[in-house]
Amino acid sequence: MRLIVCLCLFAGLAFAASPSYAKTYSKDYFGETVIHRAVFEDTLVHLARSNGLGFVEMRAANPRLDPWIPGAGVKVVLPNKHILPDAPRTGIVINLPDQRLYYFPPNGGTPLSYSIGVGREGLNTPLGQTTVNRKIHGPTWTPTPRMRKEKPELPMSIKPFAPDNPMGTHALYLGFPQIAIHGTDKPYGIGRRVSSGCIRMYPEGIVDLYPRIPVGTKVTVVDQPVKVGWVDDKMYVEVAPTQDQSFAIEENGVLTDYVITTADMKRITEKAGQHASLIDWESVREAVKEHTGYPVPVLDLKRQPGQRVKDDLKYLLQEAGASHEDVKLPAPEDKTQKKAQAEAPAKKETAQTIDAEPMTREVTPASSSAAPRTRVHNFNVNN
């Protein structure tokens, strides 16, 4: 009898500890899109870094703005809401087109996302699955034979923590040959295809990620410019510039050609499932053409076939024109709060609020310590 009890306990513990039964993040999205009112000192480069974004994704989201002088009072989209790539939600997932690294905590909590720089043309970051083989705090940078052939004047090596060390302060070495996730001495190259194949991160980004990643962590690298996912009753697509298109985005901010592949259409249709007949394919085509890098609704279960799907972000961009405040598009509201909100006294609409006013919080534009403080309004965009 004791033997049977012990075996049952052992089997139960093994069952509970099995990786196949670990918690995973269940939603298709995370984060929130912000519409920021620029101050005179703002540039897209500095707004990108202060908000954990990269240059190309800022340029794609704001194609009509001068990246160096957007102008005081203009509306700048900060695309921090993301559809997750179609990949295993464990460890690290890297999507090359949107130039982002996604870390999935083992407890199934909300993923963390970091802007990255990836391999340039001819030195592409490899695709596939690997693991973190080793970690180094204070890596030494040693030029490869290819680098030395291109630039014979390079030093034999650069010591750890030197200000000009291209590896930065921390490195996670992968199973791919000569590929690592590391910091950088040139942070304004993040969000661009400028590396020799490694995955570069902002100095503050690698410092945050490094202690979270044990040796052996699974790493999946994918190439998915078109992502699709559900947010409550709406299905969204998020289209980023392809790796080849990223160069044109850097130069001009816009593309003159675009295409949606058969594989993309199949992925969108499969995600819609039994509701595929409700897909607004005109909105899909617009999303692919504009490649803004933030989610765009293309299916609404509350609308009839043939009806266009309302794009909440475009609506709020128009409505925010009379306001000098930041407008935030958050994750869907907690439906358990609806009863309490319904019983609360109605708030009077003002020129500073769109719809009813839920929570507000104070923020200061990161680019200017002297800039006036502004309010951020949270809105439910999924009703």
Are 198 and 53 in contact, with CB atoms under 8 Å apart? no
CA atoms 182, 188, 192, 194: torsion sign: negative
Q: Report the C-alpha gap between 148 and 379 in whole angstroms.
A: 54
Closest alpha carbon to 359 in 371, 341, 372: 341
Closest alpha carbon to 311 in 225, 224, 235, 226: 235
Apex CA 85: angle with CA 84 and CA 89, to 5°? 75
CA atoms 130, 134, 137, 138: torsion sign: negative
State yes or no: is 137 an active-site residue.
no
CA distances from 281 to 266, 267, 269, 312, 331 (A): 12, 13, 10, 17, 24
Sequence-distant (6+) residues with CB within 8 A of 4 are none
**DSSP secondary structure of 145-165:** HHHHHH-TTS-S-B-TT-TT-
Closest alpha carbon to 221 in 112, 109, 111, 132: 132
Residue 221, H or E segment: strand 218-222
Residue 220, H or E segment: strand 218-222
Q: Report the C-alpha gap between 356 and 315 in whole angstroms.
A: 15
DSSP state of 341: H
The position carrying tokens 């190259």 is 189
Catalytic residue chosen out of the listed positions 182, 275, 324, 377: 182
State yes or no: is 8 an active-site residue.
no
The position carrying tokens 């058969």 is 262
Q: Where are the alpha helices (DSSP H) in the chain?
A: 2-17, 44-50, 55-61, 145-150, 203-209, 245-252, 262-272, 281-290, 312-319, 338-343
Q: The tokens of 241 are what? A: 């510039």
Catalytic residue chosen out of the listed positions 198, 275, 324, 377: 198
Adjacency order of strands within the sheet including 226-231: 226-231, 234-239, 296-300
**Residues belonging to the active site:** 182, 198
